[in-house]
Every structure is written in C-alpha cells, then in structure tokens.
C-alpha cells in the first residue's frame, strides 16, 4: 500500500501573520515605556521645570565685586508667615512702636534689623539708604528694628535705648544719623550729646533711658529678631523676602523692580 505524504500544517493566512507581528511590537513598546517613564518622586527636567518657573536664585553681584563685604543671602520665606500684609504691618513681623518712614500705603515695606555698633550697618545707613530714599522716596515704607549682638558690641543696647527715646520725641532718624556717623565714639556721654545737639528735651530723654517699658520694648525687638531668624546685621525683609547684608543699590533695585515696573 502506497504511503501517502505526511499531512502538512495548514498555512496561516497573511493577515493573521502580520497581526501577530503588530501585537508583538505593541507589547514591546509598552514594556519600553513602562521601564523608561519617570517615577512620581523623580525631579522634573527640561521643559517641565521651565514651565513651573524659576526658583529662588542669588543675586549676581559680580559688578560690585569687592565693595560687597557681606555676600548676598536671599531666601524666599513662606508667604503666610512674612509676606507684606499691606499698609498696617507685614504679617508675622511685629513692628509695633518701631520707627518708620514713607507712606502707610506704600507698595513695598522694608523691615530693617540693624545694630548701631555694626560697621556694615553704618555703611548701609550712610551710603546705600540715602540713595534708595532718593530713588524711591515714600513709595517704600522703611521700618527700623533694633537687633544687636552685645557680645562684641558693648554699647549697642544703650544706643538702641537712646534711639527709641529719640523716637518718642519724633527725632529717631536724625538721631540714628548721628549715632552711625560717630559710631566709633559711642559712649554714654556721646549718646547724651547727640540728644542735646538735636534739641531734644533732655530731662524727658534721660528719664526715658531709665524707663523699664523702654527696656522691655528693646528686648522685644531682640526677641522678634530671634523669632524670624535674623542672625546677622543688617538684615532686611522686603515685602517678606529676606535679604542679608549691606547690599549695593543695584541689588535692591533688582529686588524692587517687579513692584515698580522697572
């Protein structure tokens, strides 16, 4: 009996064969995507970071070079803790009874923490502050808070008390000018002499220096500096943004530009 041919497998139709290839390619693509995709905790890259906007960055102070004795240290703080609350007070910073200049409804409030025996504070007050006042005038509300480190500055507390007493007679800024100008000559006698040269009521001034309420106010300024993290002077909060050091006018202009359309 003749042997017939072994039966052969039926040939797959062409569309079935190509369908299998497409399914295989699809599965491979899914596997590659799954392996390559970033996890939820991976940092964004490329266009994603740009779309989110740039984060805080240090100021470029290269143009000022060696004149900047205290390097910039900028840090954005939580808006709810130190941002400006408008004409009353910057939210989170107690500036009650502190000396101030400028309009109550100014667009920008700068709270300055300063030490009358700090050389950088004197440089700021004598060189940079007048220039900023000339540029912006009452469009900026300046608030001065006494913040001193008495370990190396033995007369700082006495100068702070004296300045607050001058403020009680409406002459804080003129008194501060004299104290900073004669910073290397600070003594009980010179503090008294500055009051006399400004025509202050000396009896009231001297009584104020012995007033416990005034001492408590200066102590409260110190505590406020501690609370908001002022560990160097001068330090500033520009509508809540912290700026450390006697920065040049150009540095302040860069920070202030968004508020004044520059």
**Which tens digits make up the pLDDT trace of 123-155?**
999 999 999 999 999 999 999 999 998 778 999
Mean pLDDT to the nearest integer, 172-179? 98
Instruction: Please provide the average confidence, as pLDDT, over all residues in the chain.
Output: 74
pLDDT at position 73 is 30
Mean pLDDT to the nearest integer, 40-66? 31
pLDDT at position 7 is 41
pLDDT at position 169 is 96
* DSSP label of 102: S
For residue 69, pLDDT beyond 80: no
- Report how far Cα 98 is from the mean position of its chain's Cα atoms: 19
pLDDT at position 36 is 42
Fold annotation for 63-260: Glutaredoxin (3.40.30)
pLDDT at position 97 is 84
Selection from 191, 196, 227, 197 nearest residue 209 by Cα: 191
Q: In what order do the strands lie in the sheet with 140-146?
A: 100-101, 140-146, 108-114, 235-238, 241-244
């Amino acid at each position: 009996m003749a042997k017939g041919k072994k039966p052969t497998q039926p040939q797959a139709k062409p569309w079935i064969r190509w369908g299998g290839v497409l399914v295989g390619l699809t599965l491979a693509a899914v596997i590659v995507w799954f392996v390559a995709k970033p996890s939820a905790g991976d940092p964004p890259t490329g266009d994603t970071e740009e779309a989110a906007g740039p984060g805080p960055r240090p100021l470029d102070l290269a143009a000022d070079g060696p004149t900047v004795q205290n390097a910039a240290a900028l840090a954005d703080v939580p808006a709810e803790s130190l941002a400006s609350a408008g004409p009353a007070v910057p939210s989170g910073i107690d500036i009650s009874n502190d000396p101030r200049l400028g309009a109550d409804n100014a667009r920008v409030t700068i709270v300055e923490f300063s030490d009358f025996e700090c050389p950088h504070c004197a440089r700021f007050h004598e060189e940079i502050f007048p220039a900023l006042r000339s540029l912006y005038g009452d469009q900026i509300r300046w608030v001065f808070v006494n913040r001193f480190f008495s370990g190396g500055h033995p007369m700082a507390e006495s100068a702070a008390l004296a300045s607050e007493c001058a403020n009680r007679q409406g002459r804080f800024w003129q008194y501060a000018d004299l104290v900073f100008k004669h910073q290397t000559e600070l003594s009980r006698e010179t503090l008294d002499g500055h009051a006399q040269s400004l025509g202050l009521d000396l009896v009231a001034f001297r009584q104020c220096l012995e007033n416990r309420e005034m001492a408590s106010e200066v102590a409260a300024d110190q505590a406020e500096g501690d609370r908001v993290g002022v560990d160097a002077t001068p330090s500033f909060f520009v509508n809540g943004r912290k700026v450390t050091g006697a920065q040049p006018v150009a540095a302040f202009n860069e920070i202030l530009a968004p508020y004044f359309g520059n």
